[in-house]
Amino acid sequence: GENVEQHPSTLSVQEGDSAVIKCTYSDSASNYFPWYKQELGKRPQLIIDIRSNVGEKKDQRIAVTLNKTAKHFSLHITETQPEDSAVYFCAALLSNDYKLSFGAGTTVTVRA
Amino acid sequence: GAGVSQSPSNKVTEKGKDVELRCDPISGHTALYWYRQSLGQGLEFLIYFQGNSAPDKSGLPSDRFSAERTGGSVSTLTIQRTQQEDSAVYLCATSGLNYGYTFGSGTRLTVV
């Protein structure tokens, strides 16, 4: 199966600064890469995803980039706000698989 | 329904008792997954359903854990003879054709 590594495990940023979370995957056959945000005590929610036929996708203050050659993808949050504080999980799906492989999560804290 | 519904939201049980956790998927979502999340930890895969069948049960921690799905809809996760290490949040997720998971709010299980 797929193996996804996520870094860093914790990230503290000043409000207004940018946050970047990086994930690497092991199988070049993976073709779908979603990101989930989990606020304290809440369910994980899909915030953005990217498929292997594109290199970058943006939605307001969040963006995801994919480097298929290097087998890594990153989440970028610009102009961070206190409500961005949460745990973020990356995931990858093999083209012939059914089950997302999740990273271990990154706890993001935005300091006011 | 509009979202994935899980019940109960909280369950406190005595060690050794059996518990049943329920998941109502989004209508039409044929794929259903159970995950476990211990406090401050990542997402641990338990079992995957496609329709009523479970082609992947590889994540079930022991034979005390079982799950079923009927009518391609509601799923029940049963834990027999609960132990304190079973205490966690149990999350259900469902998926349609676009691969992305929609998570339920989870059941917080506490074994005392």
| First vs last C-alpha separation in chain B | 33
Residue from the list A34, A98, A104 with its beta carbon closest to the beta carbon of B42: A104
Contacts of A36 in chain B (CB under 8 A): 101, 103
Q: How far apart are CA B68 and CA B53, in angstroms?
A: 8
Query: What is the three-class DSSP state of A3?
Result: coil
Rounded to an integer, what distance in angstroms lies between the CA atom of residue B77 and that of residue A36? 24
pLDDT tier at B72, thresholds 50, 70, 90:
confident
pLDDT digits (tens, 9 = 90+) for B78-98: 999 999 999 999 999 999 876
Is A46 in Cβ contact with B100 (below 8 Å)?
Answer: yes
Section B69-81 average pLDDT: 95
SS (H, E, C) B31-72: EEEEEEECCCCCCEEEEEEECCEEEECCCCCCCCEEEEECCC
Q: What H or E segment, with its residue span, contains residue B24?
A: strand B19-24
pLDDT tens string, chain A, 112 residues long: the values are 788 999 999 999 999 999 999 999 999 999 999 999 999 999 999 999 999 888 999 999 999 999 999 999 999 999 999 999 999 999 999 887 888 999 999 999 999 9
Using a CB-CB cut-off of 8 Å, the residues of chain B touching A9 are none
Whether pLDDT at B1 is above 60: no
B25 in contact with A, Cβ within 8 Å: no
Does residue B36 carry a pLDDT above 70? yes
If you search the block for the tokens 């799906």, which residue do you land on? Answer: A93
For an interface test with B, which of A32, A99, A102 has the most B Cβ atoms less than 10 Å from its Cβ? A99
